[in-house]
Amino acid sequence: NGKFSENQKQVYNVVLNCQKKLIQTLKPGIVWADLTKQAHLYLLEGLLETGFIQGSIEDLIKDRIIHIFMPHGLGHLVGLDVHDTTIYPSGPLEPGMIVTIEPGIYFNNSLIDAALNTPNKVQYLNVEKLNQFRNFGGVRIEDDVEITADGYCVITDPPKEIEEIEKLMASVVN
């Protein structure tokens, strides 16, 4: 209907806030693996705040809880040649590199069921709330970003704020 439900807003905002924070940290010298760890931290904090999970950040990281919700990488290099051997930057980010920043949260029934049957994972999950999101799917937000000499330049410009998306949808639906 062109409008976010309250559940959609909740998940979307966790992912959007993560993506915004990550983009703001981009600059030459940042290591991709560190950026991915930071994404995991931001998403775990959001999942805690919204009541999907419980526990300490340290334990959630140690027991790899984020992989229940983000079973994919953070992004990849853009403009790859067919002969390139990796899609992730192997060293520090450098000026001229273009990367995607695309955190996400998914409610994958197979991953949730596996976690519910794993003693060191189930303790962190709010089963009642997760069950409400069984048919939700997920949210993933992507931007392409060029690493510049002194930081970054976002080269994509889709509407990303909920109000912007709803306004665009209203113009299409009506």
| pLDDT 10s digits, 82-120 | 555 567 777 899 999 999 999 999 999 999 999 999 999
Return the number of other C-beta atoms located less than 10 Å from residue 93's C-beta: 20
For residues 25 and 34, give the distance between their C-alpha atoms in angstroms, rounded to a whole number: 11
Q: What integer best gives the mean pLDDT of the chain?
A: 93
- Residue type (1 letter), 36: T
Neighbour tally for 58: CB within 10 Å: 8
Give pLDDT tens digits for 60-80: 999 999 999 999 989 888 876
List the 143-148 sheet strands across, edge first. 98-101, 143-148, 151-154
Model confidence pLDDT, tens digit, residues 4-59: 999 999 999 999 999 999 999 999 999 999 999 999 999 999 999 999 999 999 99
Q: Buried (b) or exposed (e) across 135-172, using 16+ Cβ within 10 A?
A: eeebbebebbbbbeeeebeeeeeeebeeeebbeeeeee
Q: How many CB atoms lie within 10 A of CB 111?
A: 16
pLDDT > 70 fraction of the chain, expressed in percent and rounded: 94
The pTM score is 0.92
d(CA 46, CA 54): 11
**Strand runs (DSSP E) across the chain, as ranges?**
98-101, 104-106, 138-140, 143-148, 151-154
Contact 103, 43 (CB under 8 A): yes
